[in-house]
Structure 1
Amino acid sequence: METHDIEPENWLSRTVAAATIVIFRRDPAGGPAQLLMVERNASLKFAGGATVFPGGKVDPADLELAEKLGFSDLADGAAQIAAVRETLEETGLVIGIEGKVDGQIAAQARQMLLAGGDLAPVLDAYGWTLVPQRLVPFARWWPRHRTERIFDTRFYLADLGTGAVDIEVDATENRHLFWASAQGALDLAEQGAIKVIFPTRRNLERLARFDSFEAARTHARATPVDTISPYVEQVDGQPWLMIPDGLGYPVRGEPLEMAARG
């Protein structure tokens, strides 16, 4: 029997739209593809000290730009724009755009974005065009368990290819950036070297089945992106935090007392 922590009307009123991007690069040593991981500052209210994928909340300017660019699904378009913007802000990487980019241009664009906060002027200044097809829809998590802000988070996949670019931590929210395979990140979590919250662990387990971006993309395109709202279920007399079946996840839950919930 499923149970939820808060009533639907409160769930909706506390919801904040957000976007997360899983950035792939080829392993320089020839191993499985690596993912960019972000360790958040411990002082943050949500997922403080946890290692997550880059991302953040959707801003009103992201929705305005989605409207301007004519996205048919404005919520999804705004989330894609937020993913591009947050990645540039947090890491200095430019993803999901067409146009000239090198290390110097990316650094300058990042400073302009940090100063102004909106992506549209940056796109205009550097002659960049958004290419939504480069962001692959992967998942949508909308939990009900939090009593404060609840994040309706859309996850996307993106590819850097060789990944021969510099990354630089945004010290206001994050304290460390690193590349690791999905299984490598899971191993670090098991060793206690990093902390991962419930959605990140489930997504890493799902991604660990694929050695390349191409394989993960093929899987994502063949898998429905239905909203995931974790729920508590009794398993052998113990409460477990669970997610629905049929959405591509090899592991659907873990004991509630072990689940880091942000």
Structure 2
Amino acid sequence: MPSDHPPEPVVPRPAATVILVRDAPEPAPGRSPLQVFLQRRVAGMAFAGGMTVFPGGAVDPTDLPDPAAWSGPDPRWFSERFGCDPELAGSLVCAAVRETFEECGVLLAGPGHADVTLLGAGRADLVAHRRTLGQLLAETGLLLRAELLQPWARWITPPVSPRRYDTAFLVAVVPEGQSADAHTTEAVEATWWHPDEALREWERGGMQLMAPTYRTLEQIAEHPTSASLFAAAPDRTIRAIIPQARRDGGDIVLEVGEQPEVRMPAARMPIAEGGPL
């Protein structure tokens, strides 16, 4: 006999995503140099298939901070920014570093540069779960450089979705001497975009964006350089955002707390198993 009570919302899984930015090597005259790295996910993926996203993913049980291999603000500082406990905050930072290395080859660790061949093998081992980030850092003598990350936002998938994430968004500038690539099986393409051009591509229908990505691109497009964006992050007030959706004619309108609402055509609003993302 069917229950008269709706099912309890799924508990969101902790996740981290990195707004990876750089200044374009040769920006066009009059063009702001800020660029952001975006990936278009494989269409068949269970979550956000076909969407264009920032690098990132769910926290893994192995994402455990090691004080001996940590440089920069400690997990407690990140916990105060994200409004979570220090243990989770440390895991979020570890997940951000691991996912960025796995998905685009940028390692937010130092000092200096470890052997390229060793790091290449380490990246493959991380993807295949043969090695943890902590083991890789220990074997290469590198420290996780938390100072290369700045908290930006926190978004939680709405309760109507059976697949939910509580995602910490962090900003990072590609370290000198490194470059991002598209060598990941999770994306069919990945490249650098000027934020305003990515938004125009979405408006033309050439790109699919979830509401958190759309809103973040709007926000970072206000900054001309990667340095100015990174410097602005500490001044942000971060509150967990759980979008609430309503229909308005042919549009889906997402109310996002104290921020301006996000309006998208219903035909292009991502739907995930019963609810807008």
Report the TM-score when normalising by structure 2: 0.80
Is it true that 1:230 corresponds to 2:243 in the alignment?
Answer: yes
Q: Secondary structure at the match of 2:200?
A: helix
Summarize deviations over 1:90-133 as a string: whole Å, max 9, x none: 11121244342465443232123224152111011111101212
Q: From 9, 25, 30, give the equivalent of 1:28.
A: 25
**Counterpart check, 1:154 vs 2:153:** no
What is the correspondence of 1:1-262 to structure 2 with a 5 Å cutoff?
10-11=8-9, 13-30=10-27, 31-62=32-63, 64-65=64-65, 71-72=75-76, 73-101=86-114, 103-115=116-128, 116-160=130-174, 165=179, 167-171=181-185, 173-232=186-245, 240-245=253-258, 251-255=260-264, 257=266, 258-260=268-270, 261-262=276-277
How many angstroms apart in 2 are the aligned matches of 1:238 and 1:44? 26
Aligned pair in 2 of structure 1 residues 225, 117: CA closer, same or farther (>3 Å)?
farther
Taking only aligned residues, the RMSD between alpha carbons, in angstroms, comes to 2.8
Asked if the contact 1:99/1:129 (under 8 Å) is kept, the reply is no
Decide whether the 8 Å contact of 2:250 with 2:265 is kept in 1.
no
- The letter for the 2-side match of 1:35 is V
Contact 2:109 2:142 in 1 (8 A): no
Equivalent residue number for residue 3 of structure 1:
none
Work out whether residues 34 and 226 of structure 2, in 8 Å CA contact, stay in contact via their aligned partners in 1. Answer: yes
Contact 2:106–2:178 (8 Å) recurs in 1: no
Amino acid at match of 2:240: T
Q: CA 1:42/1:117 → structure 2, altered by over 3 Å: closer, same or farther? A: farther
Q: Output the CA distance in 2 between the equivalents of 1:151 and 1:97.
A: 30
10 and 110 in structure 1: CA distance in 2 versus 1, 3 angstrom threshold: same
Between stretches 53-62 and 183-192, larger displacement belongs to: 183-192
Q: Which runs of 5+ in 2 are unaligned?
A: 77-85, 271-275
Distance 1:37 1:47 in 2: 13
Between 199-208 and 91-100, the greater mean CA deviation after superposition: 91-100
Distance in 2 (alpha carbons) for counterparts of 1:57 and 1:166: 20
In the alignment, the residues of structure 2 paired with residue 213 and residue 238 of structure 1 have an alpha-carbon distance, to the nearest angstrom, of: 33
How far apart in 2 are the matches of 1:96 and 1:51?
A: 26
CA contact (8 A) 1:98 1:129 kept: yes
**Offset of residue 178 of structure 1:** 0.5
Q: Which amino acid aligns with 1:228?
A: I
CA gap 1:220/1:71 in 2 versus in 1, 3 angstroms:
closer
Q: 1:204 to 1:112 in 2, by over 3 A?
A: same
How far residue 259 of structure 1 moved from its aligned partner, in angstroms, is 3.0
Q: How many residues align?
A: 249
Q: Equivalent residue of 1:140, what SS?
A: strand
SS for the counterpart of 2:62 is: helix
In structure 2, what residue type is equivalent to 1:100?
Answer: H
TM-score (norm 1): 0.84
The 1:206–1:119 alpha-carbon spacing in structure 2 relative to 1, beyond 3 Å, is same
The amino acid that maps onto 2:142 is: W
Equivalent position amino acid for 1:15 in 2: P
Structure 2 counterpart of 1:209, which letter? Answer: E
Question: CA shift at 1:88, angstroms?
Answer: 1.1
2: CA distance, partners of 1:163 / 1:141: 31
